């Protein structure tokens, strides 16, 4: 390993959560109601640029040190493990699409979705136009975070611990990177990181974890703008009967 490897690992584990998570969310929470949409768009742009910059640094070191990209997970490996994982993804997607249709059609279901998304509400798209920018973020995160947290960090930690422990350590770092979501959000994200690490181990490639990660983020963003767009209808007071300003029955006489 090089000194640059140590610097990148320190940045991902310690500095990145503060810079890209807590500070970014703080900017959004401090934005005025009229300026929050613009602040959200700027945040999306910063996330895309910084994520690719981090991956660019890793790739540069990889090329400079003449390392195999297969060690970073950037190689396609077919086989039954990959086929099984892809079939599993297809089944889960079909199930989730059915569930989301039912939830979005029900006001109580939309309330549950809002409650689940509340910790990250400022970051999520609130209309269809914002979702276009968020989709770029979701795809970027699916690719870049898998390279960094399922490819690079486990490779780095594996120099001083078994592979499975290195993957769990990287999953913990991934959870800490989402500290702005609160304790529950960190735990859920760490468990997701461990799951994606297991998928990487099963398939031998980051392609499938990238696909899962991107689809999950796209799903969350799509749910968000739909339930936030429906808030006006869900929370509007019921209209009085048009025949009587007080809402009472119309007197036929």
Q: What is the mean pLDDT of the chain?
A: 85
Over residues 55-70, mean pLDDT: 94
Neighbour-count burial of 24, counting CB atoms closer than 10 A to its CB (0-12 exposed, 13-18 middle, 19+ buried) = buried
Residue ranges covered by each domain of the chain: 3-233
Cα separation, 225 vs 220, whole angstroms: 9
pLDDT in tens, 238-251: 554 544 445 444 44
pLDDT in tens, 123-178: 899 999 999 999 999 999 999 999 999 999 999 999 999 999 999 999 999 998 88
pLDDT tier at 236, thresholds 50, 70, 90: low
How many other CB atoms sit within 10 Å of the CB of residue 162? 10
């Amino acid at each position: 390993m090089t000194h640059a490897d140590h610097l990148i690992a320190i940045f991902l584990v310690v500095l990145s959560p503060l810079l890209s998570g807590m500070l970014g969310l703080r900017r959004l929470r401090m934005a005025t109601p009229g300026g929050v949409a613009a602040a959200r768009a700027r945040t999306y742009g910063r996330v895309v640029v910084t994520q690719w910059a981090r991956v660019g640094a890793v790739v540069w070191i990889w090329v400079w040190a003449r390392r195999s990209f297969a060690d970073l997970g950037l190689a396609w490996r077919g086989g039954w493990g990959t086929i099984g994982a892809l079939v599993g993804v297809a089944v889960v997607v079909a199930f989730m699409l059915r569930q989301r249709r039912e939830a979005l059609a029900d006001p109580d279901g939309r309330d549950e979705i809002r409650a689940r998304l509340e910790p990250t509400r400022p970051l999520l798209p609130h209309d269809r136009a914002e979702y276009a920018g968020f989709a770029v973020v979701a795809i970027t995160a699916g690719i870049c975070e898998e390279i960094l947290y399922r490819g690079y960090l486990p490779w780095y930690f594996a120099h001083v611990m078994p592979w499975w422990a290195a993957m769990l350590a990287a999953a913990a770092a991934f959870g800490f990177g989402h500290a702005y979501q609160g304790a529950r959000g960190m735990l859920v994200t760490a468990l997701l990181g461990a799951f994606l690490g297991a998928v990487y181990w099963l398939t031998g490639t980051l392609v499938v974890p990238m696909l899962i990660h991107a689809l999950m983020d796209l799903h969350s963003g799509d749910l968000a703008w739909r339930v936030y767009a429906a808030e006006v209808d869900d929370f509007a007071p019921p209209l009085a009967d048009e025949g009587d300003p007080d809402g009472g029955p119309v007197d036929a006489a």
